[in-house]
Amino acid sequence: DPSVCAPLPVLGRDVTVPLVTGGEVTYAALDYAASAPALQRVWDDVAAYAPYYGSVHRGAGYLSQLSTDLFENARRTVSEFLGCRDGDQVVFTRSTTDSLNLLAEALPAGCQVFVFETEHHASLLPWRNAQVTYLDAPRSPRQAVETLERALADREPHGPALVCVTGASNVTGELWPVRELAAAAHAHGARIVLDAAQLAPHHPVSVADLDVDWVAFSGHKLYAPFGSGVLAGRADWLREAEPYLAGGGASRKVARRTDGGVDVEWHETAARHEAGSPNVIGAYSIASACAALTEAGFDQLVAREQYLIEKVRAGLAEVPEVRILSLFGDDAPRVGVLSFVVEGWNSSHFAAALSAEYGIGVRDGLFCAHPLLRTLLGSDPQTQGECGAPEAAPGEKSLNAIRVSFGAGTPDEHVDRFVDAVRELVRDGARWNYRTEDGRCVP
């Protein structure tokens, strides 16, 4: 479709990989949901800044001042990107997992947590200090809202409560009714945190418009390098909580008491939860990615991604052996993330064949969402760790799945190659014998 914009330049476009059949081919990175390639623009921004690198909030020198300004400007850029409200805080973390664990540590005493069993483990597991209600997998967005409303109506109405929900599933790519879930949470006096790890790279996210209390995402899925993430939203719980890490930067004043102990005054800003020397490159690269996506225009990016999704969906629909996994129906709105199983194939062998024979990188396994996979597969999911072939012979019922995912940097050729490869593999059957080695599947 000529009206669709060109892919954004990303790193790794020219990387070639060897094929088991001989020769080599440019790598088709179709695992954006795990980690997206960094935008060239982000890399260029970081390279331009690198010579001026200095400590943040810790130096009088020119470069320290510059780095401090860049770090704090990055916070403002992210706040704008997320449509934060006045008074919201943007805390730089290591990742979505880190952001949600931070929030879990900041829950007020007696907080109840409500979370769908379909969540990624990063959203499902951090609430160890709270009383957690796990909600059954809904089969439609409407059922999700009804399930949440019922659970909240049953709770003790007084006392703090938090709902944690994904914006887009890392397994099915399906969009969740975030605005409606937020309204339901608030109607019952609960708060809500949005796991936007898969949503933010693909769709504009507005904290204010969606009326969510917090949002979490990771830099490495948003076209920035590893090691940085964000938790943004309401300041009150964060300000009242013990610091996530104790140390320099989080403390405003530390003094020996006459009884020999130590009194600490902690900051009430985001710095409270950012003890230690901050990851200035991580924050700067996230801000650069936010700026690049905003400049490219989400309307254009969404249109391009929907065009690619339709290509994949139409291609897979022609292969009756392929079963797409979905909670809300195969045609439900989704981001560029799609999981499937292939009748007669062990998913790990199929993913290994895509890599070894076509140079296509997808993911196989359970995607850190074991309860969801059990629901979608209708069987006890099994794998070795998160990826790799389980002890199932080809032809047996799928014990795990294959995920293809893409985004702003994906050229048409990658999804075309993927669809052709699926068609060919299903038609021809296994041409190589795939076996497990070190938890990976190899020919």
| Angle in degrees, CA 299, 304, 309, rounded to 5 | 125
Catalytic residue among 84, 111, 368, 387: 368
Minimum Å distance from CB 73 to ligand PMP? 23
Name which of 120 and 323 has its Cβ closer to ligand PMP.
120
Name which of 405 and 410 has its Cβ closer to ligand PMP.
405
> What one-letter code names the amino acid at 65?
Q
CB within 8 Å of 211: residues ≥ 6 apart: 179, 182, 183, 186
Minimum Å distance from CB 428 to ligand PMP? 32
Q: Return the structure tokens found at 28.
A: 């088709």
Q: On the CB side of 77, how many CA atoms lie within 13 Å of its CA?
A: 20
Name which of 68 and 95 has its Cβ closer to ligand PMP.
95
| Angle in degrees, CA 100, 188, 80, rounded to 5 | 45
Task: Tell me the three state secondary structure of residue 265.
Answer: strand
Minimum Å distance from CB 68 to ligand PMP? 26
Name which of 79 and 166 has its Cβ closer to ligand PMP.
166
Rounded CA-CA distance 230/214 in Å is 10
Task: Tell me the three state secondary structure of residue 401.
Answer: strand
* DSSP E strand boundaries for 111-219: 112-116, 131-135, 161-166, 191-195, 214-218
Task: Tell me the three state secondary structure of residue 174.
Answer: strand
Query: Which DSSP letter does residue 126 get?
Result: S
CB 216 within 8 A of CB 162: no
Contact residues: ligand PMP, CB under 6 A: 33, 95-97, 120, 122-123, 166, 170, 195, 197-198, 218, 368
Q: Does the annotation mark 368 as catalytic?
A: yes
Minimum Å distance from CB 138 to ligand PMP? 16
Minimum Å distance from CB 23 to ligand PMP? 32
Buried b or exposed e, range 382-411, using 16+ CB within 10 angstroms: bbbebbbbbebeeeeebbbbbbbbbbbbbb
Query: Which residues are identified as catalytic?
Result: 368
